[in-house]
């Protein structure tokens, strides 16, 4: 009897371990990585991740985050997705040196579990201060314009402040610090964030994070849920081709370079008709740049300045300004680049190094074109009879009123106002009618 009982207990234990092991093998964690600015591609990527995690019945969705910020509209939709996700969402600011800046702060605070790696930071969520007309903070104007700008800035700041406060309160995090991050651009390290209840934990690695969150209780729209992440299989979900393309085109530096290269290619084709390649490549780049403007909020004043710069460059072809139009075009180009993505819907800009590099390349091209244009205008005539003026030859006969000379391998009828002997060197001073050259003695 005891023997049978022992065998039954052994079989039961073996069966329990097998079933438990099988259950563990079915547990899944979806892993995503957001490395760069927040844009429509990021939104579509995270939406795809939430949907995939729900269909896969995943234990959790982990998002590795490292962002300088991005578009306000995309950030708001991402926060909405995370707050209403049926699957627990874990935001992990990773790796060492990563940041969750600006829009990244909102996204991190909205997570069910917010974690950071050592050596990372979070904060500086103050919105970009702009006037409705597109001017930057501190830009002048009349008192009425300044009052309107201040009201607009205050409106944007109040919205961002109330929005991040509601997120922090919803997740039980430090709402006071969240407001300070918006109003005063507060930024803190991972250790400070944990101490101030901005995040839930610090973890040096992904494996450690998975072990730490195991057994934690999170609140979902459908109710509370306990995480069972230990031993779960990690499934990495990358951006698809479409998302990668949109993500690339939604980068301000890339968008600006595409517009710049496209304009330069078309200008080269105008300067040198028939080259074909610069024109085709320029048209493709310009069209891709225009696609970028469909995904990134842009400033109409900046775009107008860029168009003006192109018009000034084209005018240089037809109007002799000795480089003045090109200088005006470069100035307009730089100002347009700096203002192009200067909008309240985005907190990223074209980097100054990219602007100056593009301006230098275009400036050198037009300096080169202007130099050779002036040189061509000042140079002599190289074809036709007029090209013989100033050339030297030798008298093959005596020339009193008329005679013959040898110049450029040819014999020509010549005349002179002075007596020239056979064999004397002569210089052409004028081309007369009937193919006669007027010469003078040249010593």
Q: Where are the domains of the chain?
A: 2-239, 251-378, 385-441
CA-to-CA distance for 214 and 216, rounded, in angstroms?
A: 6
CA–CA distances in Å: residue 372 to residues 38, 167, 277, 321: 46, 62, 22, 13
Residue 65's pLDDT is: 97
What number of H helices and E strands is found in the chain? Answer: 14, 16
CA-to-CA distance for 28 and 228, rounded, in angstroms?
A: 10
Residue 51's pLDDT is: 96
The verdict on whether omega for the bond into residue 391 sits within 30 degrees of 0, i.e. cis, is no
Helices 252-271, 241-249: inter-axial angle, 10-degree rounding: 70
Classified as helix, coil or strand, 298 is coil
- Give Cα 292 distance to the centre of its chain: 9
Beta pairing, strands 402-407 & 410-415: antiparallel
At the second CATH level, the architecture of 385-441 is Beta Barrel (2.40)
CATH number assigned to the domain with residue range 2-239, chosen from the 4 options 3.90.226.10, 3.40.50.920, 3.30.160.20, 2.30.40.10: 3.90.226.10
CA-to-CA distance for 267 and 411, rounded, in angstroms?
A: 46
Beta bridge partners of 407: 410
Report the predicted TM-score, pTM, of the whole model to 2 decimal places. Answer: 0.70
Q: Which residue has the tokens 């903070």?
A: 137
User: In the structure encoding, which two tokens stand for residue 383, read together?
Assistant: 């074809």
Classified as helix, coil or strand, 419 is coil
In 3D space, the residue among 46, 48, 182 whose CA is nearest the CA of residue 111 turns out to be 46
Beta bridge partners of 441: 426
In 3D space, the residue among 79, 94, 60, 271 whose CA is nearest the CA of residue 165 turns out to be 79
Question: Who contacts 233 (Cβ-Cβ below 8 Å, separation ≥6)?
Answer: 25, 27, 28, 29
In 3D space, the residue among 431, 430, 421 whose CA is nearest the CA of residue 441 turns out to be 421
Run of H or E including 187: strand 187-189
Residue 267's pLDDT is: 78
Residue 146's pLDDT is: 62
CA-to-CA distance for 390 and 405, rounded, in angstroms?
A: 14
**Chunked mean pLDDT (size 10), the chain, 443 residues:** 52 48 67 94 96 95 94 92 96 96 95 97 77 39 57 80 95 96 94 96 96 95 93 94 90 88 83 82 90 83 88 77 79 88 73 86 74 61 64 87 85 87 88 83 80
């Amino acid at each position: 009897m005891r023997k049978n009982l022992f065998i039954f207990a052994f079989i039961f234990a073996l069966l329990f371990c097998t079933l438990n092991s099988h259950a563990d093998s079915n547990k899944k964690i979806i892993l995503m990585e957001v490395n760069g600015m927040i844009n429509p591609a990021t939104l579509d990527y995270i939406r795809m991740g939430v949907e995939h995690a729900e269909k896969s019945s995943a234990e959790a969705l982990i998002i590795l985050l490292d962002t300088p910020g991005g578009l306000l509209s995309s950030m708001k939709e991402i926060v909405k997705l995370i707050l209403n996700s049926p699957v627990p969402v874990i935001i992990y600011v990773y790796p060492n040196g990563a940041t969750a800046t600006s829009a990244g702060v909102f996204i991190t605070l909205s997570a069910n579990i917010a974690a950071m790696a050592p050596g990372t930071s979070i904060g500086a969520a103050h919105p970009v201060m702009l006037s409705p007309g597109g001017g930057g903070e501190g830009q002048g104007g009349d008192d009425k314009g300044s009052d309107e700008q201040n009201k607009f800035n205050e409106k944007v700041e109040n919205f961002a402040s109330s929005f991040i406060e509601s997120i922090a309160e919803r997740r039980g995090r430090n709402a006071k610090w969240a407001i300070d991050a918006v109003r005063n651009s507060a930024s803190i390290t991972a250790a400070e964030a944990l101490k101030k209840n901005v995040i839930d934990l610090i973890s040096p690695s992904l494996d450690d994070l998975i072990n730490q969150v195991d057994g934690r209780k999170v609140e979902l729209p459908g109710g509370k849920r306990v995480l069972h992440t230990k031993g779960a299989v990690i499934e990495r979900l990358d951006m698809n081709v479409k998302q990668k393309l949109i993500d690339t085109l939604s980068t301000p530096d890339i968008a600006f370079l595409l517009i710049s290269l496209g304009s330069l290619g078309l200008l080269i084709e105008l300067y040198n008709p028939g080259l074909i390649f610069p024109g085709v490549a320029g048209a493709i780049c310009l069209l891709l740049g225009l696609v970028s403007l469909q995904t990134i909020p842009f400033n109409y004043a900046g775009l107008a300045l860029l168009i003006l710069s192109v018009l000034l460059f084209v005018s240089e072809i037809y109007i002799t300004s000795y480089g003045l139009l090109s200088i005006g075009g470069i100035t307009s180009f730089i100002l347009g680049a700096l203002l192009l993505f200067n909008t309240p819907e985005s907190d990223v800009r074209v980097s100054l190094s990219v602007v100056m590099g593009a301006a230098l390349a275009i400036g050198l091209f037009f300096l080169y074109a202007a130099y050779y244009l002036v040189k061509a205008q000042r140079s002599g005539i190289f074809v036709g009879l007029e090209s013989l003026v100033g050339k030297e030859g030798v008298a093959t006969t005596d020339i009193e009123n008329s005679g013959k000379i040898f110049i450029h391998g040819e014999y020509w009828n010549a005349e002179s106002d002075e007596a020239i002997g056979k064999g004397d060197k002569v210089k052409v001073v004028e081309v007369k009618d009937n193919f006669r050259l007027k010469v003078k003695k040249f010593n």
